């Protein structure tokens, strides 16, 4: 039976507050026995992977370039895509559920693609894009994820 995957998206650089949030989201993903998918680089991606590893989870990094060594140290399975930031489409589409933390244009492109391809997107980043599912915090996001993965 297929494993459930959750993509965690957000900025390549983040301050301590967002880092803490990303770690908590990563832990939650692992605790729910889901696989964490991300873009494999630094910032939100790295902190989410760190959290997932702390909770014994498995992490996948879909890298823009050609080198496995581009991945952050908490990525278990580094998948170099070679297609540049077009890999954002795959980060979005390859998950059952997307969780969006604060980020910039790249993150927003992932949100848009998730919605184009019909993936539920949980909003933990103050995003204004219509069609997302607003969560008040990590525990609220956990509740939403639990409901969605039961389907």
**Which positions lie near a second copy, rule CB under 8 A?**
2-3, 5, 35, 37, 60, 62, 66, 68, 71, 75-86, 89-90, 93-94, 96, 105-106, 108-109, 112-113, 115-118, 128-129, 131
Nearer to a second copy, 24 or 107 (CB): 107
Nearer to a second copy, 55 or 77 (CB): 77
Least spacing, CB of residue 109 vs a second copy, in Å? 4
Least spacing, CB of residue 24 vs a second copy, in Å? 23
> Using an 8 Å Cβ cutoff, are 86 and 67 in contact?
no
Least spacing, CB of residue 139 vs a second copy, in Å? 26
Structure tokens at 44: 């939100």
> Using an 8 Å Cβ cutoff, are 12 and 43 in contact?
yes
Cα separation, 10 vs 38, whole angstroms = 9
| Nearest Cα to Cα of residue 136 among 55, 7, 21 | 21
Nearer to a second copy, 51 or 61 (CB): 61
Nearer to a second copy, 116 or 146 (CB): 116
Least spacing, CB of residue 12 vs a second copy, in Å? 11
Cα separation, 15 vs 82, whole angstroms = 28
Structure tokens at 56: 């014994």
> Using an 8 Å Cβ cutoff, are 43 and 92 in contact?
no
């Amino acid at each position: 039976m297929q494993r459930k995957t959750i993509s965690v998206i957000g900025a390549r650089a983040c301050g301590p507050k967002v880092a803490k949030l990303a770690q908590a989201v990563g832990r939650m993903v692992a605790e729910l026995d889901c696989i964490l998918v991300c873009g494999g680089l630094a910032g939100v991606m790295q902190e989410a992977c760190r959290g997932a590893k702390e909770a014994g989870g498995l992490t996948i990094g879909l890298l823009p370039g050609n080198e496995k060594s581009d991945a952050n140290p908490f990525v278990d399975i580094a998948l170099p895509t070679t297609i540049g930031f077009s890999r954002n489409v795959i980060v979005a589409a390859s998950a059952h559920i997307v969780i969006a933390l604060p980020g910039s244009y790249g993150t927003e492109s992932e949100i848009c693609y998730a919605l184009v391809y019909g993936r539920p997107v949980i909003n933990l980043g103050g995003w204004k894009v219509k069609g997302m599912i607003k969560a008040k915090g990590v525990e609220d996001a956990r509740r939403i994820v639990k409901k969605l993965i039961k389907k």
